[in-house]
């Protein structure tokens, strides 16, 4: 069984912030960060206050931060922090592209959840509202895709999930799939929207325009909330005792392979060209999550950073908010990730 190694780091890390449940490979727009050459595999602190990083769009590192329940961004060059929206409760995912940002927030009462759009990163407005527990945002060229847990209005009723689609600037909402169990992690490819159903212990998909729901990995006995896709391959986690098997299939679904074993709960996955980033949760043994990495052709999960929140990825860097006495945002060079 693959083992876990630890990459020693000579930096005292600090930060705070909530985790994200999922992420996607960013568009090609260059992320900035401090000027200069890309450093080796050493966490490089960014200037200014910390932020729980969720998405990268050019020189803007989007995320959530305190005081307050705020959504906004940090300028990676100057460290200046900008608040886009306040009083955003239960922000489970953020996506950003071309200066715009989208996120879900649960609200302060039942069915007060929203899908929020901030054109240019400012003046946010709800483009879908009255939601129960929205999340799992994925961004396509024309549409925003997202998940919702819902019920008939009573918390005693069995929650039912659905997958939704709306134009990027708002408009008519399309239900792509309904009557689901508990959809959590999502992933978007050129053809399909995938999700993990933690109530029914399977991975499913539907076409980007809707259609029949297809179960692509069933009878798992348990499944992690994280899901990721890259270059026609989909990755997910299956708990096996204290460990988690990382499994993979391509969109033809010829076979489902076990590619590695993580040592503990996997709360987030990001698939990039270099491999797979993992948010590892050790419970009370650690503060926050550890950042793990599985090289594309590797069989061993490597621990890169010891504690913090889930990462955000730009074309050149991985951004990470570490947990400790002081909030700090750091970055790692993608070129220096282990091979």
Alpha carbon distance, N-terminus to C-terminus of the chain: 19
The tens digit of pLDDT for each residue in 228-265 reads: 999 999 999 999 999 999 999 999 988 899 999 999 99
Question: Whole-model pTM?
Answer: 0.87
Query: What whole-number distance in Å separates Cα of residue 148 and Cα of residue 290?
Result: 28
Domain for residue 339, yes or no? no
User: Where does residue 222 fall: left (phi above 0), alpha (psi -120 to 50 degrees), or beta otherwise?
Assistant: left
- Whether 338 is covered by a domain: the verdict is no
Cα(48)–Cα(59) distance, integer angstroms = 14
Name the residue with higher pLDDT: 149 or 187: 187
| SS3 state at 54 | strand
| Pick from 331, 285, 278: nearest CA to 300 | 278
What does the pLDDT average to over 63-73? Answer: 87
Spell out the residues 6+ positions from residue 251 whose beta carbon is closer than 8 angstroms to its own.
189, 191, 192, 232, 233, 234
What is the rounded distance in angstroms from the CA atom of residue 300 to the CA atom of residue 296? 10
Q: Which residues of 302-311 are buried (b: 16+ CB within 10 A; e: fewer)?
A: bbbbbbbbbb
Length of the chain: 339
Residue 16 pLDDT > 70: no
For residue 291, pLDDT beyond 90: yes
Output the pLDDT for position 254: 84
Higher pLDDT, 201 or 310: 201
Q: What is the pLDDT of residues 118-171, one digit of tens each?
A: 999 999 999 999 998 899 999 999 999 999 987 655 555 566 899 999 999 999
Express each pLDDT in 22-61 by its tens digit: 445 545 566 655 555 665 567 888 887 778 899 999 999 9
Asked if residue 77 is part of any domain, the answer here is yes
| Number of structural domains found in the chain | 1
Banded pLDDT at 11 (limits 50, 70, 90): very low
In a domain, 159, yes or no: yes
Does a structural domain hold residue 153? yes
Note down the domain range covering 328. 4-333
Indicate whether 285 pLDDT > 80.
no
The mean pLDDT value for 93-103 works out to: 97
pLDDT of residue 153: 55
Residue 163: inside a domain: yes
Q: Which residues have CB under 8 Å from 241's CB, separation 6+?
A: none
Name the residue with higher pLDDT: 12 or 234.
Answer: 234
The tens digit of pLDDT for each residue in 86-95 reads: 999 999 899 9
The reported pLDDT for the residue numbered 286 is 74
Res 40: pLDDT: 58
Dist. CA 59–CA 76, nearest whole Å: 5
Listed residue (225, 185, 231, 230) closest to 205, CA to CA? 185
Summarize the confidence of residues 179-186 as an average pLDDT: 91
**Domain-located, residue 170:** yes
Task: Specify whether the CB–CB gap between 328 and 13 falls below 8 A.
Answer: yes
Query: What token pair was written down for 7?
Result: 């990459």
pLDDT at residue 12, rounded to an integer: 28
The pLDDT, as a whole number, for residue 8 is 29
Give residue 261's Cα distance to chain centre: 20
Q: Write out the DSSP string of 128-161.
A: EEEESEEEEEEE-SSEEEEEEEE-SS-TTSPPEE
Over residues 266-287, the mean pLDDT reads 91
> How many Å apart are CA 30 and CA 270, to the nearest integer?
18
Tell me what pLDDT residue 48 has: 75
Beta bridge partners of 123: none
Max avg pLDDT among 62-66, 76-80, 86-90, 126-130: 126-130
Average pLDDT, the chain: 86
In a domain, 28, yes or no: yes
What is the C-alpha separation between 247 and 131, in angstroms, rounded?
32
């Amino acid at each position: 069984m693959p083992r876990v190694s630890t990459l020693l780091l000579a930096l005292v890390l600090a930060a705070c912030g909530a985790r994200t449940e999922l992420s996607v490979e960013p568009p090609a727009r260059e992320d900035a960060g401090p000027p200069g050459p890309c450093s080796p595999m050493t966490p490089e602190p960014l200037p200014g206050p910390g932020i729980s990083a969720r998405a990268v769009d050019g020189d803007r590192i989007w995320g959530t931060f305190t005081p307050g329940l705020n959504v906004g961004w940090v300028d990676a060059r100057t460290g200046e922090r900008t608040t886009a929206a306040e009083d955003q409760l239960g922000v489970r995912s953020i996506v950003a592209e071309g200066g715009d940002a989208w996120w879900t927030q649960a609200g302060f009462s039942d069915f007060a959840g929203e899908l929020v759009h901030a054109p240019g990163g400012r003046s946010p407005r709800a483009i879908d509202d009255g939601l129960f527990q929205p999340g799992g945002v994925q961004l396509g060229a024309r549409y925003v895709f997202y998940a919702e847990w819902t019920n008939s209005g009573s918390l005693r009723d069995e929650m039912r999930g659905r997958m939704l689609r709306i134009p990027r600037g708002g408009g008519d909402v399309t239900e792509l799939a309904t009557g689901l169990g508990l959809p959590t992690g999502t992933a978007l490819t050129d053809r399909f929207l995938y999700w993990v159903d933690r109530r029914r212990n399977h991975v499913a998909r539907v076409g980007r325009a809707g259609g029949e729901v297809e179960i692509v990995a069933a009878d798992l006995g348990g499944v992690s909330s994280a899901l990721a896709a890259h270059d026609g391959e989909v990755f997910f986690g299956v708990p096996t005792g204290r460990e988690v098997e990382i499994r993979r299939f391509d969109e033809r679904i010829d076979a489902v392979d076990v590619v590695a074993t993580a040592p503990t709960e996997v709360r987030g996955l990001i698939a990039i060209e270099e491999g797979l980033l993992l948010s590892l949760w050790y419970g009370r043994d650690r503060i926050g999550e550890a950042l793990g990495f599985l090289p594309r052709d590797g069989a061993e999960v490597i621990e890169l950073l010891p504690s913090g929140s889930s990462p955000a990825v730009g074309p050149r860097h991985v951004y990470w908010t570490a947990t400790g006495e002081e909030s700090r945002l750091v970055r790692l060079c993608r070129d220096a990730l282990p091979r």
